[in-house]
Amino acid sequence: MMKSYIAAASLALLGLGAAQADEGNSPLAPAGANFTTLVTTALAIEGLTGDALGNLYTTGRQPPAGQSCPVFRLSLSSVSPVIVGRVPAPSPIGQCSPNGIAVGSNGALFISEADKIYTVVPNATTPALATVYASGVPGTNGLAFDRHGNLWTGDGVTGLGRIWKITTGGVVSEALRVPPMANSVAVGRSAVTLPPNTAQPLVANGIAFETDGDMLVADTARGAIWRVKFDRHGNMEANQTSCDTTFTANTLCWNNVWVEHPVLEGADGIALDRAGNVWVAANERNAIAVVASHEGRAQAVFEVFRNPPAATNLRNAGPLEFPTSPFLLGHKLCTANSDGNRRDNSPNTAGELGGAGAPKGKISCMDPPLSIPGLPLPVSAH
């Protein structure tokens, strides 16, 4: 298993010393990095993505029962959210709660919700109701397109670690699994954290693709990122699964752990810059981290920002309030905040969000800008 705290000789590939890695001073993030609120929203939000025109997109969650969930568009210069689509409620008495969101090559938005993935073309003049692109994907969460146009997603809080591939025709198949925290009712382990919600089963969360076609998967429970290798045709390379007979045959081997580090505990969404460095929203810790990468190898893990402690020693007063989905809009790093009542964000009423009559979601952006811009999405084939 590759460790994130590697020897000084390897760090030299990036011009880093071991002391720098231990101290958490990242050469990839500007000194004195801080986060400021770009916009707050009346509804909770979780997913965040953007397009080549400089727009950001997110979705409102958990409106009154029977109401659709709005799809919002905004930008760094025009921060008032504009509704450009809607995700339907599951029933007249049901409540929609979208998770991940991604932009396809045709400009359409793809949105994960419950056991379905919806799609809608953003239109501020006549916002359309999203239609089902794929179903039968329970727990679908983070979304990412590979360079062949296939859409990938994990099974989120169901905790089984399933990763699904959805073809351009909308056909769903279970491609692989990240090892779950327990491989049966009686065998395994669960990462126990502080109340509330003491057990964290989520092992297949945010997904991103590197320019060479390999896939990265955020493992929230372990504070890890898995790497899955694909050939140039988009087929999964051999000898990456079937290492433990107590797991399903399509479960990844431990050698597929790309990096694991306590700073990454609670890793939710991930985003790549053009140099292949991986930016991580560590929601458990109200923090943003980066994994420095060189030629596809994880070199070091750095904490870019973490909420400062208040007089109570809690870190729940912001500016981050359970960051979920980082997105690199050019040189600007922004993240959605869902204000989950968990770990460092508990109780979740101390910041801008969560209190009586307060907003339920927000987008925060880091100042100053990054030196390396974000990787354009979706990743295209060479």
Tens digit of pLDDT for each residue in 153-193? 999 999 999 999 999 999 999 999 999 988 765 555 554 54
- Across 247-259, b (16+ Cβ under 10 Å) vs e yields bbebbbbeebbbb
Encoding tokens for residue 291?
A: 């994994």
pLDDT tens digit sequence for 31-60? 889 999 999 999 999 999 999 999 999 999
In the prediction, which pLDDT does 31 show?
80
Helices assigned H by DSSP within the chain: 8-11, 18-23
Q: Which two tokens stand for residue 226?
A: 């898995």
Of 156, 150, 145, 157, the residue nearest 172 (C-alpha): 150
- Which of 145-149, 209-213, 291-295, 378-382 is the least confident region? 378-382
Of residues 362, 318, 363, the one with CA closest to residue 344? 318
User: Are the C-beta atoms of 144 and 154 separated by less than 8 Å?
Assistant: no
Q: What is the pLDDT of residues 278-293, one digit of tens each?
A: 999 999 999 999 999 9
Please give the domain boundaries of the chain with CATH numbers for all domains: 8-183+190-367 (2.120.10.30)
* CA 309 – CA 317 distance, rounded (Å): 8
The pLDDT of residue 75 is: 96
pLDDT of residue 379: 87
What is the CB-side half-sphere exposure of residue 354 using CA atoms within 13 A? 19
Q: One-letter amino acid identity for 366?
A: M
pLDDT value at 262 more than 70? yes
Residues 344-369 have pLDDT tens digits of 999 999 999 988 899 999 999 999 99
Strands of 143-145's sheet in order across: 143-145, 151-154, 162-166, 172-177
Q: What is the three-class DSSP state of 350?
A: coil
How are beta strands 82-87 and 128-129 bridged, if at all? parallel
Backbone φ, ψ for residue 3 (5° rounding): -100, 150
What pLDDT is stored for residue 27 in this prediction? 75
The mean pLDDT value of the chain amounts to 90
pLDDT of the residue at 32 = 85
